[in-house]
Every structure is written in structure tokens, then in C-alpha cells.
Amino acid sequence: MKTKSAVLPLIYLGLLASIQGADPNIASTALLSAGKDLQFGGLTALAASVSTLALAATVISTGMLADRLGRKKIIIAAMLLAVIGDGLVSVSQDPIMFIAGRALAGIALGAVYGSAFAYVKYFGDNSKGGLSAALGTFSASIGLFTLLVTFAGSALVGVGWREAFLVIPALSVLSLLLGLFILPKDEKRTKNTEQWDFLGQLLLGLAVVFSLYGISHAANGLFTALTIVPFVIGVVLFVLFYLRERTQTDKRFFPISLLKHPLFLAAIGVGFLYNFSTGVGLLSFSNLFQYQLDLSGLALSLSQLPYLLLAIPTALIVGALISKRVLTRQTSTLIGSFIAALGGILFAITAMSSPKSVADYLPALVVLGVGAAVPAVAYGSMILQEADTKHYGVVSSSRTTIGQFWYSLGLASSTVIIDTIARAHVLNKLGSSAEQQLNSWSASGSKPTDSSVFPTAVEGFTQGFALLMVIYAVLMLIVGFFVFFVANKADKQHSSQQ
């Protein structure tokens, strides 16, 4: 029987998920100060990425734990682990202590996000609006709370990076206490005789770590050993994982046959639209406004608000429209891909038209913000539909791992495209003598001493950004149509089986 409203629990679940979203944002803001104090040196890249790697590698396994031990128990335990992890970071005295704390925080918050997302189906199925409306409320809450928590943590970096890392532990304690009252009790479980498939979990975890590590280094050189070797190892491990999981499937922890399901393939495509957009967008926008418009500090942070804020009403509206069957999931995704593509083209045109202020970018920010947010509801709905009872936590948590891949790919590809074109433009215009200036700028972050290099680099950066947005627009349309046709095929299969 459907209850009248599950808004409060869904907002709470959005708060839980937003903690995971805000944590890396705060960490990236605080990393420079922490690195100077603790002298990261060659460990800087690992300190920056270890949380994401740990999260992506373990979130599917923690989803399985939630199925077998109880979702509420896992959320409470994970919140406590997050307190320990970022608490350890805040008092760290050396890089190893910092990295260990960030790894613990990544594992913990991956478990929190995965379990929070899995709970949405429980509340959605028992609420008046259904699953799509529930996902709309959940996604909107994530957008709002991520924004608030990120700004609170980033503001505290000005006080001290150690204080900034206490925001997540404080919020975790508060959320834990609220969860004791809001979340339903775990059902009593009989003794579980299912296989744990430790080798399968290990293969998947290592595959994720190696491949993401390789992708993250692509920005420093697409064909370097640190990019190619880990990525190739990751791909090989994925193949081994696939070959293992397809044999004796009753003893394996992940239902590998999902990779043949049209709906799951569509969900992966929607995940690309949603997460790749975020990976391509935020850092590129920030750098563009910083270099082209000379924005910094609070003004730079506020410049992205239109893009971020629009995700909130967009999720609510799309969730309601799908719930009322005004839109199908695949239609909403296709519409979102068209809007995102239009936003990309608007960004490219604006960037090349010598804008005077961030106000000139407002139409592009608004359109792209809406387009990037539209697929969120369909993404969650498709994943949850594919999650059978036996593998519910495993499949629902795979959403996070899929998202991390597409986000990392978007971030790396945007950096590679823009940097390659900007560097080529500078060298073509100023000659090889400018290369040392570019290398020093890249290493130190300080503007080149040669006054001709910076404006020329900005010209190249703008050209690279414009090309990136055109490529992005084309990809959005291609993947949008792919999702539309594959999801339609899934619907036809589902109808024929009824």
C-alpha cells in the first residue's frame, strides 16, 4: 500500500549522498594547503586521487555487504568510518597518514552513497509518486546539499585545511543520528549461504583501480607509461573478471549477464550523458573563466552557480513528468542530450566571440546545466530496474563505479584536448622558445615571465575549449540516440514477456 509521502526520507537520503559528492570537492580545495604543510612531493597525485580510487574499487562490494548484513547497519558503520577517515586526515602529520585517511573516507562514503541510492526504491515503491518522482526528489536534494556542504567546506579552507576536513565528520555524525530515526529497521536475515566470491571482488577492485589510475594520468601525457601501463593492466583484469564471472554464475557475486541486457546497456549510456558532462564541464568552465575573464576567489565560485542550481528544479520536474507518464525515460534522455548539445555549441560560440563578463556565458550555463541534469532520473531508474533481489546492492552500487569511469574520462579528455591545442597554438605563434615557459607554468602554476606567453596561451585555451564543446555536443547526440533505441528495444522485450 502506498503512503502519502516519502519526501522527508528521500531528502535525508539526498543528504547522505551529497556528503560523498561534497567530500572530494572540499578535498581538492584544501589539497594545495595540505600539500605545502605535509610536503607531499611525489605523493601529490596519489593524495588527490586515492579517495576516488578506493571508493570506485569497493562500492560494489559494500553494496553486497548491505544486502547480506543490512543496509541500515552498513550506513551507520560507514558513517563512523568516514568520521575516522577524514578525522585522521585533519590531524595527519605526514603524507602517509593523510593518504590513509582519505582512502578510508573514500571506502566509507562509497558505501554510504550506494546504500542511500539503494534505499530510494524502497521509499519510491511505497510512496504516492512512485520511483521516478522519488528519484527526482533524491537527485534534487543531492544537488542542493552538495552545493551547500561544498561551499561550507571550501570557505573553511581559508581558516585552515585541517578545519575544512572536519566538515564531513561533523555532518556524518549528524546524519548518523538522524538515520537512527528515519531509516527503517533492517529485516531479520536468515544465515546466508551465498558465496562471497573473494577472487571476483579482488579482480574487479584491482581492475577499477588500475584503469582509473591510468585515465587520471592522461592529463599529464596521453602516451606516457603512467597512463598506458595501468590502463592496459586494468583492461586485462576486467577481461579476466568477465571470463570468471560468466562461469558458475550461481557462485559469483556480480550478474555478468547484465552486460547483454539492453536496459543495462542503456543505463551505462545514460551514465555517460550525466557523468561525462560533469567531468567535462566544471573544471573546464573554471579554467576558462579564470584565464579569459580573470575571475578568481568567490567570483569564480559564484560563476558556476547557474549551472549547479538548475540541476535541482530540473530533477524534480523530470521526475514528476516520468512519474505521470508524460515522458518515458528514453525520451527524457534524448531531450536532455539535445539540450546538452545545444549548451555545448552555445559555450563554443560564446568563448570565441570575445566575451566581456561571465554574464555573456549565462545562456550557455543555463542550457547546459539543464541538459546535463535531465538524464539523472532515467539513469537511476534504469539501474534500479535491473537490480534483482539477489544482487540488489551489487547492481545498484554499480551506478557509482560506472559514474566514476565516465566522470574521470570526461575530466581527462577535456584536459588533454584543451592543453594540446593551447600548447600547439603557443608554439606555432611564438616558436619553440616558449616551451620552457609553458613547462614552468604547468609545474608551478605561476604565470609565465614572458608577457607574450600568457595572452597567447589564453587564445589557444579558448580555441581548445571551443573544440572540446563541439566534440562534446556531437557525443551527446550520438549517445542520446543510442540510449533511445536500446531502451526502446528493452521495453519491447519487457512487453513481449508479459
pLDDT value, residue 445: 60
Q: Are residues 148 and 219 in the same domain?
A: no
pLDDT attached to residue 268: 96
* Domain boundary residue, one of 235, 252, 269: 252
- 188 domain residue, yes or no: no
Res 479: pLDDT: 97
Q: Are residues 13 and 121 in the same domain?
A: yes
Domain that holds residue 27: 1-183
Q: What is the pLDDT of residue 492?
A: 85
Q: For residue 283, name the pLDDT band (cuts at 50, 70, 90).
A: confident
> 126 versus 253: which is more confidently predicted?
253
| 183, 211, 226 - which closes a domain | 183
Please indicate, yes or no, whether residues 353 and 371 belong to a single structural domain of this protein: yes
Task: Tell me: do 325 and 464 sit in the same domain.
Answer: yes
- CA 190 to the chain's CA centroid: 35
For residue 56, tell me if it sits in a domain. Answer: yes
Claim to verify: residue 108 and residue 240 sit in the same structural domain: no
199-243 per-position pLDDT tens digit: 989 999 999 999 999 998 887 777 889 899 999 999 999 999 999
Beta bridge partners of 127: 3
- CA dist 234 → 103, 152, 264, 435 (Å): 19, 36, 22, 33
Q: Is the pLDDT of residue 86 over 90?
A: yes
Task: Report if residue 31 sits inside a domain.
Answer: yes
Region 410-427: mean pLDDT is: 88
Q: Are residues 203 and 311 in the same domain?
A: no
Please say if the pLDDT value at position 497 is more than 90. no
pLDDT at residue 485, as a whole number: 96
On whether residue 239 sits in a domain, the answer given is yes
- The verdict on residue 189 lying in a domain is no
Paired with 3 in beta bridges are 127
pLDDT of residue 455: 87
Q: Is residue 192 part of a domain?
A: no
- 446 pLDDT band (50/70/90 cuts)? low
Summarised one tens digit per residue, pLDDT across range 381-394 is 999 999 988 889 99
Of 177, 178, 160, the closest CA to residue 26 belongs to 160
Q: pLDDT band at residue 44, thresholds of 50, 70 and 90?
A: confident
pLDDT (0 to 100) of residue 238:
95
> 128-148, pLDDT tens digit by residue?
778 899 999 999 999 999 999
The grid cell for 72 is 541500515
Q: Which of 133, 160, 183 is the last residue of a domain?
A: 183
- Numbers of helices and strands, H then E, in the chain: 20, 0
The answer to pTM > 0.85 is yes
Check whether residue 46 and residue 114 sit in a common domain. Answer: yes
Who has greater pLDDT, 249 or 368?
368
Q: For residue 190, tell me if it sits in a domain.
A: no
Q: Do 136 and 11 have their domain in common? A: yes
Torsion of CA 405, 285, 139, 404, to 10 degrees: 10
* pLDDT score of 1: 44
Count Cβ neighbours within 10 Å for each residue of 212-225 and write b for 16 or more, e otherwise. bbbbbbbbeeeeee
- Nearest Cα neighbor of 114 from 53, 182, 62, 186 is 62
How much is the average pLDDT of 446-472? 86
Mean pLDDT computed over every residue of the chain: 89
Does residue 123 sit in the same domain as residue 33? yes
pLDDT at 484: 97
What is the arithmetic mean of pLDDT over 8-16? Answer: 95
pLDDT at 290 over 80: yes
Q: Alpha-carbon distance 109 to 75, whole Å? A: 9
Q: What's the number of domains the chain is made of?
A: 3
pLDDT digits (tens, 9 = 90+) for 455-465: 888 899 999 99
Residue 124 and residue 13 share a domain? yes
Q: Is 43 exposed, middle or buried (0-12, 13-18, 19+ CB in 10 A)?
A: middle
**E strand or H helix that includes residue 28:** helix 7-38
pLDDT at 195 over 80: no
CATH classification of the domain holding 79: 1.20.1250.20
Residues 215 and 114 in one domain: no
Whether 164 and 50 share a structural domain: yes
**pLDDT reported for residue 498:** 59
